[in-house]
Structure 1
């Protein structure tokens, strides 16, 4: 990754860091989902990332978008609600990054398009205790960035993590956690935490 752009190799490295971060945090994500949902979040993501790993070993990838298409397809073939939503988010990000190198503008456009798609399909907004609570601030940070790529990614990562942490104080209005109401207050939303891991991994 140069100071201002990233290419397909950089995007593969990003996914590798995310896979490793998920491996470290999988049990914690599962525990969060068990406390607020049906407990299958970690297993579903593990399945998706296992398919993504295998497919990336075989797929030719000339652009960042090619890499993200592979990851998108893996998520879209995952059970549950979150898998397809992550898949559509990655699909929109892939569409915005189909050039040999991309910078802040392309990533911001992809984040914005992906987040809008997730909101439309899932019907959730900020404050509903879902992945959107991390996606929206990360998108806003990238869109507002005026410096180089490293600074923009750092701002997006910090915003995503703050958004994920904010879900502890919320009562869910969407998703499985909405079924348990106050019982899930104090519990981080696992989808938002997963978004934070994705964006933090992008920073490197």
Structure 2
């Protein structure tokens, strides 16, 4: 049982996410080639290289410093997804107290980031974007907060919700982003941004249960 995410756990979460993303990068690139311009995997990999270069050492890591470094790496990356993820991570980085982040704070930070991304990108659930994974994950965290779940259990719930949301994008016609240009040709193809959100929450659940 984990009550809060301190610097060491935040660093483990981000390192796990980086490893898991790289393992999935080719598959995500293939998804983007079917529904976009094929540069999603390359752009996110570039962002993560910047993140790794900025991450604090294990001795200096706090939840805020790890996610601030993550936000900075994504904001310094081109394309559409990098800045959107960056703004989301920036909101998450602010959801902390002295000892780290608990379920309540994480739920608030993820929800604030979701609102920011929706304001900037204009997407809603059903538009076949990262929002289709991020919104249900955010709701799962809010429900976990209301239910008094510890943060490890909350992340497990969020990961399941994000993965289900990502899977749902295969049945959606895109209303935003490059996938909207190809119409029916994108049916059956999961949105790579939504899948990446699922990978992120799954990495958090794995890091906290290790």
The equivalent of 1:87 in structure 2 is 86
Distance 2:171 2:189 in 1: 8
Does the 8 Å contact 2:133/2:162 carry over to 1? yes
Compute the displacement of 1:99 (Å).
2.9
For 2:159, the equivalent position in structure 1 comes to 157
Q: Are the structure 2 counterparts of residues 191 and 56 from structure 1 closer, same or farther at C-alpha, using a change threshold of 3 Å? A: same
Deviation for aligned residue 1:161:
0.2
Structure 1: how far apart are the matches of 2:61 and 2:195?
30
1:150 Cα shift? 2.1
Counterpart CA distance in 2 for 1:59 and 1:177 is 40
CA-based RMSD: 1.4
- Using the TM superposition, give the Cα deviation of residue 82 of structure 1 relative to its aligned residue in structure 2, in angstroms: 0.4
2:29 & 2:120 partners in 1: Cα distance? Answer: 24
1:193 counterpart = 2:195: yes
Deviating beyond 3 angstroms after TM superposition, the runs of 4 or more aligned structure 1 residues are 57-62
- Contact map agreement 2:32 2:192 (CA 8 A) in 1: yes
Aligned mates of 1:59, 1:26 — CA distance in 2: 26
> Gapped runs of 5+ residues in structure 2?
none
Deviates more, 1:186-195 or 1:51-60: 51-60
State the match for 1:175 in structure 2.
177
Matches within 5 A, 1:34-73: 34-56=33-55, 61-73=60-72
Q: CA deviation at 1:97?
A: 2.0
Hey, what's the Cα distance between the residues in 2 that align with 1:57 and 1:138?
A: 27
- Distance in 2 between the 1:21 and 1:154 partners? 16
TM-superposed deviation, 1:100: 2.7
Structure 1 position 140 matched with structure 2 position 139: yes
Query: 1:5: which partner in 2?
Result: 4
TM score, norm. by length of structure 2: 0.93
Give 2:205's aligned residue.
203
Contact 1:134 1:196 in 2 (8 A): yes
Aligned residues: 203
The corresponding residue for 2:110 is 111
Q: TM-score scaled by structure 1?
A: 0.96
